[in-house]
Each structure stands twice: as C-alpha cells, then as structure tokens.
Structure 1
Amino acid sequence: MIPNNLFQSRVCYETMSNTFPGADGAWRNRYLLMRHGHSQANQEGRIISSPALGLTGFGLSSQGHAQLDQLLADWRWARPRRILHSDFLRTAETAERVATHFGLALTVEPRLRERHFGELEGQSDARYAEVWALDAQDPTLRQGGVEAVAEVAARMRAVIDEMEARHRDETILLVSHGDPLQILLTALEGRALSLHREREPLAPASITSL
C-alpha cells in the first residue's frame, strides 16, 4: 500500500493528505485527525500524560489559542459533522473551539488520550527520545510503565473502526495528541509500528486529512 502524501506547511499548522483504504478497500467516511494546540505542558517542556494531571490541568497556552484563531480563520478542510476528542484538558479545549466555530456538539472519547509515559510523568519532554529509541527496537515494550506503541495503535484504530461501522459519508474530526496520532498514521499506512517516529512530526494545531 503506497499512500499519496501531500505536505504543505503554514505558519501555525500543517496539512498532510493521505489515502489509507479501510478493511474493504475504501473508507466509508472522511477523517480529519487533529493534534491539540500548543499547550501549557509544551510551554513548560514537561511530559503530562496521566489522567491525574492531564484531565484538569495543562490546557492550551496563549500560543495555542492564537494557533486555533488562525486555523479557524483559514479553515480549508471539509466541514466536520462530528467531533470526537481526548478527555485531556488541552484536547478538550481545542475541540471546543472548533465545535463552537461550526456549531457542533462534542463527544468525549478516552481512547484518543495521550500515550501514557509511566515513570516519566511530569519530567522534561527531552526524555521522550529515550522512549522513542526503545519503540524502534520493540513496539510491544512497556518499560517503566510506558504504554506500548502496539497498545496505542490498537485503541486509536478501534475508534476509526467503530466510526466506520456506525456512520457513512460523514466528515469526522478526531482531536488527539502527537504520539498517538503518529502511531495511528503509521499503522494505517501498514508500516512497522517501530517506525512511527520516522514520520514528519505533527505540529500543534495541525490537521491530517484521511
């Protein structure tokens, strides 16, 4: 399977268009995968991946709000009909801004949560590199309580599979986090999950169109 990729960079967001067939060879719906806007965790350079910290704290930064202002003012994708989002504060705030803009309801979807980074919680985000190096060796590894790449891929893909079973000919926006989205895209491409960091990193407030 060879995806048709188009990458276009803008000031605060990026568009990447990919075609990934579903199980029967074609998607029933159109999907927009969105990474949350720049967050307070990004601003502080901290890993915030647990519900204990992420559900009620570390929402969008002022930069993140500005990114969403620009994104919505220059929206160039299909109008979403449904919005599902991770229940972390930064993704909930991102989804709420988009929903308000289009006059849509929101659906909380915990399976779209941030990847849990175990013992690294609250530490410097420079330590992500340690986890990614281990991911490249074994995508099923759970060292230090870190959620395995394979587990992230399974829960993320399950959301799309469920939408495919329930709906048809809709544009569905899924608001999630950087690592989970890159893992999902790697899985949909049919590439080895150990290669998920070889993809172009998804910028805050970026949208990837399937």
Structure 2
Amino acid sequence: MEGSSGDSPPAPPPAFRNRYWILRHGRSVPNERGLIVSSLENGTKPEFGLAPEGVEQARSAGESLRKELGEMGVPVDSVKICYSPFSRTTETARVVAGVLGVPFEGPSCKATVELRERYFGPSYELLSHEKYAEVWAIDEADPFLAPEGGESVADVASRLAGVLSSTDVEFHGSAVLIVSHGDPLQIFQAVLSGAKENPSFLDKVAGLKKESLIVPSVLSQHRKFALNTGELRRVM
C-alpha cells in the first residue's frame, strides 16, 4: 500500500545510453606459440599480431555483428569501435571495421589504452600460457592480490569500469563494440554482472572498496565469463 512501511524495493539496474558488444581478438601469434604477451611494449610489436586463422575469425565476427545489427534494426553508421592498442586487437578491429564499412581511421574507431591486456608482470611475460593457471588460482582466492609487478583483477576492473563510464558519456544511442583480450573481457563481464545486481557496484569497483563483500565475491569468478578467440558477445 502506498505510504506503508517496510523494506524499500530493490534499486533498478543502471541504464546505459548505448548498446554494447564485446569481442576477443582473433587467434594470434602468441596464442599459436603458447606465449604470454601482456606488456604494452611487447603487445604492440607487429610480430605479435593475428595469425591467419585469427584474421578469418575477425572477419566472421564482423559478419555476425552486421547480421545482429540488421536483425535489431540498428544502423551500421551508429557503430563505434573501441579497441586495445595491442597489435592483435588493432588488427581484429580493423578487419571488423572493414566488414562493416566503418572507416577505421575515422572518428568511429578509437584505440583505448585502458582496454589493453592485463599485465601479468615480468615473472610471467613471454613465458608459457600454462602459467595462467597460477594467476587464476590467486584471482579466485583474492581478486585484489596481483602477480608481482603485474595487475590484479581489481586493478583491471577499475580501469574497465572507467572505460564503460566514459564511453557511455561520450556516445549516445550508439552500437559500441569493445575489442579487447581474454582476461580483461572476463573481468568486464564480471563487473557488469555485479552492476545488474547492485547499481552502485560500478562506483565500488572504480573506488576499489574492498570492504564491500560483493566486489571480491563477484570479481573472483571472472573465469566463468571466458571467451574463445574471435568470439563476439552482446553484453547489454
């Protein structure tokens, strides 16, 4: 009854001004060589770009996105592509832009350094992919604990929450494609899942407030949002 006492209703989920898709880069040379290439210095080297299979995966993702946009009645000219400056993500974004007919050098495509790969630190850089398991075990135990010299889940979550906030202010009514890497996109989806449950979650993540129990419990589960190389996913 209106005006009656009792528990207040749950807050509504956060409203975003744009539609968002995420895309993990296509299969890359580091994927094929089984190497961890996570530093900005190494990741932007041309030799660590896409493998031939990755180019095909990127092309397929572009076709899938074009089909989805058509089915939703969303004009292609509303597409904005934000991508990590790493070679493998830049090349993926370029292929997708070509499929969609979006000028890659124009204002609709933007390299965004905050979308870079998670840096796993010097003790993991250029070592075997098998070492990822060690980091993910730490993540599950404490998402605020970083590999030595590298980034924790919370560190990555904070910068990705910032990307989401700034992008949603910059664009309005756009179809935004975020092209990034495996760990960052897993963590990004964990942030979004937390925001759907609790609208203040984005603020908590941005401020890295560990005292909020929901933040560690949600972020530590980021692996359940894993993407394959070249996988496109609509997130909102």
What band does the TM-score fall into relative to the shorter chain?
0.7 to 0.9
What are the ranges of 5 or more consecutive residues in structure 2 without an aligned counterpart?
Answer: 1-11, 70-75, 195-216
- From the superposition, tell whether residues 81 and 122 of structure 1 become closer, same or farther in structure 2 (CA, over 3 Å): same
**Residue 34 (structure 2) aligns with:** 45
Residue in structure 1 matched with residue 89 of structure 2 by the alignment: 91
Which structure 1 segments of 5+ residues have no match?
A: 1-22
**Residues 95-129 of structure 1: CA deviation (Å, up to 9, x unaligned):** 00111222323211000000001010000000000
1:129-140 matches, within 5 Å, as 129-140=133-144
Say which one has the larger Rg.
Answer: 2
What is the distance in 1 between the residues matched to 2:174 and 2:60?
25
Higher deviation after alignment, 37-46 or 144-153:
144-153
Q: Indicate the SS of the match to 1:143.
A: coil
- 2:228 equivalent to 1:203: yes
Higher relative contact order (CA 8 A, sep 6+): 1
Q: Displacement of 1:24 after TM fit? A: 6.4
| Local SS of the residue matching 1:173 | strand
The alignment of Structure 1 onto Structure 2 pairs a total of residues equal to 187
What are the superposed Cα offsets for residues 42-100 of structure 1, whole Å, 9 maximum, x if unpaired? 00011000112111131000111122233334443224511110000000000001112
State the distance in 1 between where 2:129 and 2:97 align: 30
The structure with more strand, counted as a fraction of residues: 1
Please state whether the residue corresponding to 1:144 is helix, strand or coil: coil
What TM-score do you get using the length of structure 1 for normalisation?
0.84
Q: Percent identity?
A: 40
Q: How does 1:162-177 map to 2 (within 5 A)?
A: 162-177=166-181
Work out whether 1:112 is the aligned partner of 2:100. Answer: no
CA distance in 2, matches of 1:96, 1:141: 35
- Structure 2 length-normalised TM: 0.75
For 2:189 and 2:125, the matched residues in 1 are separated by 24
Aligned to 1:16: none
Q: In the aligned structure 2, how far is the partner of 1:83 from the partner of 1:144?
A: 32
Pick the structure with more helix per residue. Answer: 2
